[in-house]
Amino acid sequence: MNERPFIARILCTVLAAILVVGGAFAAEKAKSKPKAKPKAKASAEKAPDIPNLMDLPWNLRDKYDFDFPNAKIIYGADNAQWSLEVPGIGTLFDRLHTKVTLGDGKVIDVNAFGPGTTTRDKVTTIFGEGRDFSVELPDKEGIHVRHSLTINKASPFHAFHVKITNTSQAPIEISKITVMDVPPGSLAGLSADTEVHMRRLRSLGLSPVFDPQAAPMIMMIQDRAKGFFCAIGTVPAGKGTTGINLQVHSGTWQGDVSTAFEPAVRLDPGETIESDPVWISLSIPQPSELDRQFAYMCSGLSQPPSAAEVPPAWVTLGDGDSLDDLRRVVSAWKESGVRHVLVPSGWEGVPGSLEGASPRFPKNMANVASEFRGQEWQPGITVDPLAVQGGDSAWTATSTDGQRWLNPLHEKGFEYGVEQMKKVAGWGYTFIVVEPSLIPNEVLKAFKLSRAHAESLAYAMVAKAAPSVPVLQKSRATLGPELDGWLSAAAATARMREFNVPVGAVRLDASKVDSLPADTLTAMAFCGAPIELTGSPTRTLQNQCSRIFPKAYLWPKPVDASAPTPKLWIVEINKNKDTVPSVATVSFPGARALDASDPQPEATDGRIVWATDSASFLKKFRHPNAEK
């Protein structure tokens, strides 16, 4: 790292000298010219143009240089602009900066605030020990902006984050903090075959879930021809929803990485709001290693249950169906190898009452858990912790439809929610799924909460109330028999499961699938998320599912993790009563060959090393030495 060289002071001296010399030259020139006839009204003399420090090249700016093995971050100590330069490629990102969007849609460009002051502080974050380099920008537009870059000592992730303070005398609303405004022409200079992969995950509290419609949580960029790899990602802090909103145009990229607050959050004078941290990784040489490091980091956000405790799959049905319907679904899947069942949304007679909707469900929902446990099924239940029927008006609100809602930001409201969920935890369910709340936006605005913040707090209430059972996010994706969808889901979740991150489910609707191609079935086996099964399966589909459940002894890792749908995998297979320990290289259709720069399967601890195609894997993995 290059410490600040006080360029600003030198530049001011140079500019002053230029002005002095220029003025002297102009005076001397004026002496040699005849005097012009005076005009009736002299026009005002034009002031000399003084360049804006922010428009100057970096070598004339007050800045920090952070050098990495294959790249350099240049961070403006004057206004928090930053660039990414890569030897042999050029400037991939040039002068990225911050914007703030107010609740009325007005966009404030922080670039116009002028130079600020810089501080450096030692910090300890989820990334470990590091140092914050922060720029405090001048107050303008009724806000104060603090922009920080955290350079971490041991972690490969270095994070940008933005804090906004309301310095006006009236409330304001914040709807978005753009941490990185990425101008057109970014990522130019990369090879034509550069792989750019977006990992689409949505996070509720500490439980991520695969969602093909979500803004990406990770962006991997690999230029194999030029030996370059980097990644950008987010760390969900639970206050807003952060996504990487970049699009390609004519071979280059543009867009933004932003934390959105929906609905917009009101800040009273003196109150603050922060973006999620947005990290960049420049020192990891391989996408597969970044995949591992990111999953490991996510595991540090909580103390989740072990992977063995998270159900590999469960059967359920649609919201609003009855217990009799659920019994029929359970019976239809009894030969599938799945032994978990989820009570879906809509079981309550009145939301928040914690009583079953008679006659569809019994009033006492503990009876449902007891019934399924007696049939050797492990039951789970779906909850919306923000819907209540009691509580004090100081920390609840009633919507126009008469439903009462809990304010989880209020300390007493949060504790009330925990006590309510402890009642659910005492019913005997072995896992709990938290659904997206139906709390209306007008209630959230009254609570000064974004939806993401409210739902994260709701998840935290359930996790605190039920520490001994897995608490998961509700499924956001329904996939069919197509291979690419399951490969994307597996790539986003496989390493998460390895590090015990409680990932939300991915759904398969059996009413639309008679059978699965062998390649797709293997991709499902690699998926680190629980698989939620709905509808009545065919006999063929039941038999296929029985080949992949349970799946605790498979630990798949995508090798080409930066590809849109990774097709080359290394799978560790732990010893089981009917499985020998081995490690396999598995190739899906269209996979490239494993090369020397890739992680290699290792024959440690007496494991067999073997290779196969994805269609054959499930036939061979139990005893590969006998079936090669």
Question: pLDDT band at residue 625, thresholds of 50, 70 and 90?
Answer: low
Task: Tell me, yes or no, whether 367 and 259 share the same domain.
Answer: no
More confident residue, 218 or 52: 218
Q: Which domain holds residue 606?
A: 481-627
| Angle between helical axes of 411-425 and 451-465 (0-180°, round to 10) | 50
pLDDT one-digit tens code per residue, 53-112:
667 899 999 999 999 988 999 999 999 999 999 999 999 999 999 999 999 999 999 988
Question: pLDDT band at residue 49, thresholds of 50, 70 and 90?
Answer: low
Question: pLDDT band at residue 316, thresholds of 50, 70 and 90?
Answer: very high
Q: Would you say 432 and 343 are in contact if contact means Cβ atoms under 8 Å apart?
A: no
Q: Name the domain count of the chain.
A: 3
Question: pLDDT band at residue 579, thresholds of 50, 70 and 90?
Answer: confident
Average pLDDT score over residue span 278-304: 86
- What pLDDT does 319 receive? 83
SS3 at position 440: coil
Task: Tell me, yes or no, whether 276 and 368 share the same domain.
Answer: no
Task: Tell me, yes or no, whether 265 and 361 share the same domain.
Answer: no
Answer yes or no: is pLDDT of 165 > 70.
Answer: yes
Q: Is 313 left (phi over 0), alpha (psi -120 to 50) or beta?
A: beta
Judged by average pLDDT, the poorest of 148-152, 399-403, 605-609 is 605-609
Mean pLDDT of the chain: 89
CATH number where 202 lies: 2.70.98.60
Please give the share of the chain, as a percent, with pLDDT higher than 90: 75
Task: Tell me, yes or no, whether 492 and 378 share the same domain.
Answer: no
More confident residue, 11 or 168: 168
- Compute φ and ψ for 238, nearest 5 degrees: 90, 0
Judged by average pLDDT, the poorest of 193-197, 267-271, 573-577 is 573-577
Average pLDDT score over residue span 240-265: 95
Average pLDDT score over residue span 137-147: 97
Asked if residue 304 belongs to a domain, the reply is no
pLDDT one-digit tens code per residue, 345-366:
999 999 999 999 999 999 999 9
Asked if residue 415 belongs to a domain, the reply is yes
- What pLDDT does 9 receive? 41
Number of Cα atoms under 13 Å in the Cβ half of residue 149 = 24
pLDDT one-digit tens code per residue, 13-44:
433 344 333 443 333 333 333 343 444 444 44
Task: Tell me, yes or no, whether 382 and 527 share the same domain.
Answer: no
Task: Tell me, yes or no, whether 241 and 117 share the same domain.
Answer: yes
- How many Å apart are CA 574 and CA 555, to the nearest integer? 8
As given in the structure block, the two tokens for residue 455 are 């739902």
Task: Tell me, yes or no, whether 115 and 204 share the same domain.
Answer: yes
- What pLDDT does 434 receive? 96
Please give the share of the chain, as a percent, with pLDDT higher than 70: 89
**Listed residues 270, 299, 328: the one ending a domain:** 299
Among residues 276, 274, 257, 81, the alpha carbon closest in space to that of 164 is found at: 274
Q: Would you say 628 and 611 are in contact if contact means Cβ atoms under 8 Å apart?
A: no
